[in-house]
Amino acid sequence: MPLVALRDLHKRFGATQALRGASLELEPGSIHALLGENGAGKTTLVRALYGQVAPDSGEIAVDGKPVAIGIALVHQHSMLVPALSVAENVVLGERGSAFLPRARLHAEAAAVLGRHGVAVEPGALAESLAVGEMQRVEIARALARGARVLVLDEPTAVLAPSEVSALLQLLVELRARGMSIVLISHKLEEITAVCDRVTVLRAGETVASRPLAGLDAAQLGRLMVGDALPPPGRPPETEPGPVALRLAGLRAEGLAGIELELRAGELVALAGIDGNGQRPLEEVLAGVRPLDAGRVELLRPPLALLSADRQRTGLVLDLSVAENLVLPEAAHGGMPPVFHGGALRSAELARAADEAIARFAIRAAPDDPVRTLSGGNQQKLCVARALRARPGVLVAVNPTRGLDVGATAAVRDELRAQARAGTAVLVVSTELDEVLELGQRIAVLFRGVLLELPAGERSREAIGRRMLGAAAA
Amino acid sequence: MKRARVFAGPIAATAVAFVVAGVWLALLGADPLRALGALVGGAFGDSLALETTAVRAGPLLLVGLGVALSFRCGIWNIGGEGQVAVGALAATAVATRVAAGAPGLVALPLALLAGTVAGALWAGIAGVLKVGRGVSEVLSTILLNFIAALLVAWAVHGPLQEASGAYPQSDALPAAARLALLPDLHLAHSGLVLAVLLPLAIWALLFRTAAGLRLRAVGASPEAARYAAVSPELETVRVLLLSGALAGLAGAIEVCGVTGRLFENLAAGTGFTAIAVALLARLHPLGVLPSALVFAALAAGSGAMQRSAAVPSVAVQVIEALVIFFSVGFALPRRESA
């Protein structure tokens, strides 16, 4: 009998069906990889296991009982109290005597840490530890409290290479002692190094659960992204014109040398798993992240950007639809026709807003605060605003994230239409379907560099492999 | 925001504050209707009372407008007090020293301009510190209040002290640098004309210009503003300059129109009451005029209440506090809770 069994879980959040038949079985003494694209339901599944999320239907059994006990979740970011010592963090929240002499406290903590091979000084402040040390302290603390199942959500994303091997070493030791471990990771080498079994989620559903032995990168990539169904939309057929945007060796925090030439009338799509440089690239193009090296050569200005985070950086939620539409034109003293000598011309503003609302079918009035709009209408407003500048280069980051089917199609159609009209369009998306539907050329963002897809190799498998960093050549 | 809604909250807050104050006065053993009646009569009862209220409302209105502007931009300028003081100081210095013999057409505008510029630069220090060094403007503007107060104290004990040297105060401003009284009035000076015009001007700035849109965007979301090519840093410095200019002008008008001299603690408390004025007005420029009148009336009527209802004048401070308390409850700007 498995130690943990999650069977046929369903969970809906508002309009999103996060889980639709997800299952996971864990054996004692094993390390289990949980794999899937962004939004495939990995986090929801482990939160259901941990008891943070109540599934709408399905069965949860730990040791045959329907309660989630003995499960510990280790987050990417430390949950230790930074200003307390390691020893204090270890005992924090435990029931015990009201007074605990420091010497005994340190001795107890040292015993807990030593039992699990974590070499950290009990008196050190948590904030003085390296990220990897914090993680190992958290694991030791969880084990000291009787955890039998350890879930690690992308634990190595924030670690230096030496810390990664220390963590993996600890996991292997714990397995030998009978622990059951779930490792969520996108890094193939880590998975193949330590995991025994793999469960693959796709769109909230468990599509595979099998021993890892015998699976290669290509097969894992295909399991993750699905079979090569013909995409419903197709990239536009246009003749690329002169170079409109050249990214020459961009290096910044999170970018390790991006090289890209984007031509007028061309639609290039960048795939990749979140956290591989999407946000740094967006911020560099928005001009809010400094470059360490390299150049952004904008040969056909202006550049308009559809931000991935439309609620934080894309729109000012407390301003109205009309005001958000023209906000970039208010910069530097105000541009005609809506602004004239710094003054706002109400009639022109109303006309601009009415036009945008009609053209992009935005369901809102010009004076409505943007906060009251649905995600789809907010994104349509972002598109309307980006196109007002008549951009020579249009960059869209996850342009359909969170949108329903209709709004998604409308936004993708508009991006294709822009390319046909001669705009150079760059789409950065973590959704594979989107990349295949839009990109005439496709490249994969992986750890801050671009892995370009050869023209003949336009398959989900080829992209999936590069998303995991394999077959870079 | 619908205009009717803008005023509903503050009016309700003021009304509830008066009801609670009435209960409290009754518990003190006073006749609440009589006491509050005396308060209102002292503020609005006759033409002199009305003039007193208007004169007191003037600086509250100017500083309150500046506070409303900076709060709208997400900048917590708590330094109105100091900006008023340096405005008064600069206007006095120009009127009694630099342009002492100049005719009215030169001396008065020069004095008002000096006060305005001084207030702007004083607040600008906080802007530069924030943008350049990341210093919280809450701290720097509060600390600049103390420096400004000491600067005035030094000036009236030193370089600007009156020629006779009798008191720590400046010479009287020459007539050429004084704001004339309004025709047929005894206290109300011509500077109050500004009080009617400025709220309209600031309203137009906020809602009918590119600068106003930038300022409100930065206040609501600096990140989104930056992505829209609006520089939060630039707007921060600009709004502090403008906010300080309004307070500095208030200080200059106070010496040129009301006191006629500079002395310590001139218009003391104006900078802080102005924050309450701006909050009661829900940071709306057109709301600042009635809001300033409410607080000016409380101050103007307190003496009458003390005399006729035997209630100590500190009771007025309790009522002021209640108005602020309930205005925060009823009329908090919406993005505060967001």
Which domains occur in chain A, in start order?
4-215 (3.40.50.300), 243-467 (3.40.50.300)
Pick the more confident residue, A182 or A219. A182
pLDDT of residue A222: 77
Residues of B in contact with A334 (CB under 8 A): 209-211
Residue B337: its pLDDT value, please? 32
Q: Who contacts A88 (Cβ-Cβ below 8 Å, separation ≥6)?
A: A81, A105
Nearest to B224 among A313, A326, A329 (CB): A313
Q: Which residue of A has its CA nearest to B230?
A: A331
Smallest Cβ distance to A327: which of B213, B231, B334?
Answer: B213
Instruction: Sort out which chain A residues have CB atoms less than 8 A from B230's CB and list them.
Output: 327-328, 330-331
Chain B residue numbers touching A328 (CB-CB < 8 A): 228-230
State phi, psi for A320 to the nearest 5 degrees: -80, 170
Test A327 with B217 for CB contact under 8 angstroms. yes
The residue that leads in pLDDT, A13 or A337, is A337
pLDDT of residue B283: 92
Best of A306, A323, A324, A327 to substitute, by most chain B Cβ atoms within 10 angstroms, is A327
B212 in contact with A, Cβ within 8 Å = yes
Q: Is B338 on the interface with A (CB under 8 A)?
A: yes
- The predicted-structure confidence for A47-86, as pLDDT tens digits, reads as follows 888 888 889 999 988 888 877 778 888 876 778 888 889 9
User: What tens digit of pLDDT does each residue of A396-431 get?
Assistant: 999 987 676 677 888 899 999 999 999 999 999 988
Note whether A391 contacts B: Cβ–Cβ < 8 A. Answer: no
Q: Which long-range contacts (CB under 8 A, 24 or more apart) does B295-298 make?
A: B295/B57, B295/B60, B295/B320, B295/B323, B296/B43, B296/B53, B296/B54, B296/B56, B296/B57, B296/B60, B297/B39, B297/B40, B297/B43, B297/B44, B297/B53, B297/B57, B298/B39, B298/B43, B298/B323
Rounded Cα distance between B275 and B77, Å, is 9
Cβ B80 vs Cβ B303: under 8 Å:
no
* C-alpha–C-alpha distance, residues B296 and B54, integer Å: 7
DSSP conformation class of A65: B
Rounded to a whole number, what is the distance in Å from the CA of A305 to chain B's nearest CA? Answer: 9
* Cβ count within 10 A of residue B40: 17
Q: Decide if the complex's ipTM is over 0.90.
A: no
A95 pLDDT more than 90: no
CA distance B291 to B330: 14
Work out the number of other CB atoms within 10 angstroms of the CB of residue A364: 20
Question: Among B209, B213, B221, which would you mutate to test the A interface (most chain A Cβ atoms within 10 Å of its Cβ)?
Answer: B213
pLDDT at position A29: 92
A330 touches chain B (CB under 8 A): yes
At residue B12's C-alpha, the angle toward residues B6 and B16, to 5°, is 155
Report the pLDDT value the prediction gives residue B6, as an integer from 0 to 100: 61
User: What are the per-10-residue average pLDDT scores of chain B (338 residues)?
Assistant: 62 86 87 88 90 93 97 95 97 92 88 97 97 95 97 95 91 91 86 90 96 96 94 96 98 95 91 92 92 91 83 79 79 43
Q: Where are the domains of chain B?
A: 3-337
Residues of A in contact with B338 (CB under 8 A): 317-318, 371
Q: What is the predicted pLDDT for the residue at A470? A: 65
User: For domain B3-337, is the CATH number 1.10.3470?
Assistant: yes
Rounded to 5 degrees, what angle do the CA atoms B240, B244, B247 make?
150
Chain B residue with minimum CA distance to A313: B224
Asked whether residue A230 carries a pLDDT value surpassing 50, the answer given is no
Q: pLDDT value at position A472?
A: 46
Phi/psi at A243 (5° precision): -65, 130
Mutate to test the interface with A, among B1, B227, B231 (most CBs of A within 10 A): B227
What was the pLDDT predicted at B331? 54
Q: Pick the more confident residue, B60 or A115.
A: B60
pLDDT tens digits, one per residue of A117-160: 788 888 889 888 888 888 889 988 888 888 889 999 888 776 77
Average pLDDT over residues A192-220: 87
